[in-house]
Structure 1
Amino acid sequence: MHRRDLLTLGAALGASAALPARAQAWPERPIKIYQGFAPGGNADAIARAVGVELGKTLGQPVVVESQTGAGGTIAAGSVARAKPDGYTLLLATGGHAVAGALYQHLPYKTVADFEAISTVTFFPFLVVVRADARLRSFGDVLEAARAKPDAVSYGSAGIGSTHHLAGELLAKMAKVPLLHVPYRGDAAAVTALLSGDVPFIIAPPTAVMSNIQAGKLRALATTGPQRWPGLPGVPTVAEQGVPGYDVRSWAGLLAPAGTPRPIVDRLNADTQKALLAPAVRQRLEDMGGEARGSTPDEMKTMVTRELEKWTMVVAESQIPRQ
């Protein structure tokens, strides 16, 4: 157990112990976690792993419901409009901040219309090529892009995805031109890479690890600030010529704005407990993530900074706002 985990849990438990009697009566019925992506996908699996453990501590079932579409914004809108009584939560992902930067007319405010509860997990993306590619290192990618402007393309899960914006931020920070080729999801991007339609893709570990292990693909870099434990021999982008580059996706729990602070504090404390459960930590690690909770204020600050970062990338890369 990390010292940070112990300190965060201790603070959260202290807050929980001080709750007034009225708040301690909560919850009296099942709690619902909405997530905005396909059933069986990463977001769904994260919500269910954490939800099962939350249910044990809260003494009420925690039900996960998928409301797919529009990059998670439909589910976010439902939660933003829900009664702020602690019975409706959102499993938000990194796409929550991306959507705030990309969409002009969301029916909610990305930060102001939610109460942050806690982060749950963080995971990097991987820069991946075919195993037989002539690009042997990430440095080769940068050199090729500088030698032939706009001749080096990369695939992503779609326009406005975190993967897409990770590539735009890379091009900006490395000062190299890269041509974005969007696909309909990670599976389509992997297929295009295997077919030789694009020289590299940016994708989460879960989308590419089976092909890396099978010897069909090769990871050149990881996008986080440290090397990813799943591939410790693969350097970060920052290690290979782009200092300061840091793109990770994340997941965390949000509640509607106005949810009473005692309930937020109770949810935070019990989320910390859930993240210490070995089965939850293992499940998140299996998906390429690192189990890591936060205080509500830390999560709110993180989402605010993510929104600012991606708003800048969208503007400077001249990506049309949807």
Structure 2
Amino acid sequence: MKSKFFGIGFALLTGSALAAPTAPTQPVTAIVGYAPGGAADIVMRQLAAIMQPKFPAGLIVSNKPGAGGSTAVAGLVQAKPDGLQFAFVPNSNVSLSPQLVHLPYKNPDDLEHVLDVVSFSPILVVSSSSKYKSVSDLVADAKKPDGNVSVGFPGVTTLSHFSVVSLARASGANLIEVPFAGWGQGGPQLMGGQISAAVAQPSEAVPQIQAGTLRALGSFSEQRQSGLPNIPTLKEQGYPVSFVARYLVVTTKGAPKDSVKYMHDAVKEAMDTKQFKDFVKERGMELTYRDGEASKQASWNDYRNFADLLKQIGPIK
């Protein structure tokens, strides 16, 4: 009898082991819809460095900038659902962009959500040599007939773009919009004086703020971000504008469940390492885990919230 139960237990254990997803036998591509040096690129490359041992055939980070990140997502939606392509994207690409421009995907249901990784709110920054010491300083200049205040951001239809438009509407300021492909392009423009200010992600700007080359005027957050306690919110300064950027992993709808689970587990394991936790904290972000289903629900909540805000502020061009 004992040997019989042992045999059953061994069979169950063996079955469970066999059911566990195995490592991909072909290279897997992690797509980033922005140029090197941007938030998505920085975070994904940090994850990939930790995850490499889980992908013996290769884990390739591929930058495909265009249309504020939407080009990469559109390509993923139309790709073969083979479980070999994933994308690391902000929630704006999933929940805002399809409400603003014509894309081959319409809403969060058109993507397979794998998991949420980090979250943060954008920050408004200027060069440390700028005359602007607060958001009010910048707004006051932008209200002048000859103000000529330009604000850069990483791509149209992004959350950063939405932040600039919302600040302009809330303040009545004339802010000249200057989209760029990513912080690798926008940072030099700001430091070189080609633009007055920029909306940046903490992971991009914090090192330069700490080095004293950038000054943060305000955070587009409801409350001061825990990783950036010295940066006042725009709300504190009289401008009720706040947004949260979620960065998540998605793949093509219909991708094999084993491939989705393998990527989920590999990313989650990387997220749980001290190396990644320290990186997130140092860059002023929050570790924000949601599994695929919870991530999809969050994307739908964002979709509805963006729809309501679009009704309030009008169309974005």
Please report the TM-score for the alignment, with normalisation by the length of structure 1.
0.75
C-alpha RMSD of matched pairs (Å) = 3.6
Aligned length: 299
Q: 2:20 matched to which residue of 1?
A: 24
Could you tell me how far apart the structure 2 residues matched to 1:188 and 1:156 are? 10
Q: Report the Cα offset of residue 56 of structure 1.
A: 3.4
Residue 89 of structure 2 aligns to a residue whose secondary structure is: strand
State the match for 2:100 in structure 1: 102
User: 1-side partners of 2:146 and 2:243: how far apart?
Assistant: 22
Whether 1:221 aligns to 2:218 is yes
Distance in 1, Cα, partners of 2:145 & 2:306? 24
Per-residue CA shift, 1:199-249, capped at 9, x if unaligned? 533222355445534545421211123423554212122333345x43233
Partner of 2:68: 71
Q: TM-score, normalised by structure 2?
A: 0.76
The structure with more radius of gyration: 2
Quickly say closer, same or farther: Cα 1:212–1:32, change in 2 above 3 A: closer
Structure 1 residues 145, 311: CA separation in 2 closer, same or farther (over 3 Å shift)? farther
What 5-or-longer segments of structure 1 have no aligned partner?
A: 1-16
Q: 1:55 to 1:311 in 2, by over 3 A?
A: same
Q: Is the 8 A contact 2:277 2:287 kept in 1?
A: yes
| Corresponding position: 1:303 with 2:299 | yes
The change in CA–CA distance for 1:285 and 1:264 in structure 2 (over 3 A counts) is same
Q: Would you identify which runs of 4 or more consecutive aligned residues in structure 1 move more than 6 Å?
A: 19-22
Work out the CA distance in 1 between the residues paired with 2:221 and 2:299. Answer: 17
SS in 2 for 1:292: strand
Could you say which residue in structure 2 is the equivalent of 1:293?
A: 289
Q: CA deviation at 1:154?
A: 4.1
- AA partner of residue 99 (structure 1): S
Partner amino acid, structure 2, of 1:71: G
Q: Give the superposition deviation at 1:117.
A: 0.9
SS in 2 for 1:120: strand
The residue number in structure 2 matching 1:283 is: 279
Change (3 A) 1:152 1:305: farther
Distance 1:85 1:21, change over 3 A: farther
Change (3 A) 1:214 1:66: closer
- Assess if the C-alpha contact under 8 Å between 1:23 and 1:263 holds in 2: no
Label 1:303 to 1:182 Cα distance change in 2 as closer, same or farther (>3 A): same
Task: Name the CA distance, whole Å, in 2 between partners of 1:188 and 1:67.
Answer: 15
How many angstroms apart in 2 are the aligned matches of 1:129 and 1:39?
A: 21
Corresponding residue of 2:117:
120
Matched, 1:33 2:53: no
Instruction: Render the CA deviation track for 1:235-272: whole Å, top value 9, x for unaligned.
Output: 122333345x4323332111221235565445433322
**Against the structure 1 CA distance between its residues 141 and 251, is the aligned structure 2 distance closer, same or farther, given a 3 Å change threshold?**
same
Q: 1:169 touches 1:313 (CA, 8 Å); kept in 2?
A: no
Instruction: Write the distance in 2 (CA, Å) between the matches of 1:23 and 1:258.
Output: 19
Question: Aligned pair in 2 of structure 1 residues 195, 71: CA closer, same or farther (>3 Å)?
Answer: closer
Unaligned runs of 5+ in 2: 1-12
Say if 2:248 is the partner of 1:246. no
Identity %: 25
Instruction: Check the 8 A contact 1:168/1:317 in 2, yes or no.
Output: no
Question: CA separation in 2, counterparts of 1:198 and 1:33?
Answer: 31
Q: Offset at 1:277?
A: 1.0
- Aligned to 2:269, the other structure's residue is in SS state helix
